Structure 1
Amino acid sequence: RRCVRDYERLPEHHEAMVQWAMIILMRRRLARAK
C-alpha cells in the first residue's frame, strides 16, 4: 500500500514505531511480573 511506502521514506517515523513497540512490550512484561 502507499502508506507502507511513506513509512519507508521516513526513518524517523520508523524509529518512533520501534520505541512505541518496546514500551508496549515492557508494559506487558511488568504486568506479568505483578
Structure 2
Amino acid sequence: MNQHVKAEGIRSQTFRCHLLLKFIGRFNITLHTKPID
C-alpha cells in the first residue's frame, strides 16, 4: 500500500515537472521569436 502511494507521488511529480518544462519551453520560444523592445 505504502509503495503504491509512493509510486503515485513520484508519477505525479514527474508529470508536474514535464508540464513545467513544456511551459518553460513554450515561454522560451516566445521570448526568442519575439523582438524585445
TM-score > 0.5, shorter chain as reference: yes
List runs of 5+ in structure 2 lacking aligned partners. 29-37
Matches of 1:21 and 1:29 in 2, distance apart? 12
The structure showing larger relative contact order (alpha-carbon pairs under 8 Å, at least 6 residues apart) is 1
Greater helix proportion: 1
Q: CA RMSD in A?
A: 0.8
Quick one: which of 6, 10, 13 aligns to 2:7?
13
Quick one: which of 16, 21, 30 aligns to 1:27?
21
| TM-score, structure 1 normalization | 0.71
Identity %: 12
* Greater Rg by CA: 2
Pairs aligned (count): 26
- Code of the residue aligned with 1:16 in structure 2: it is I
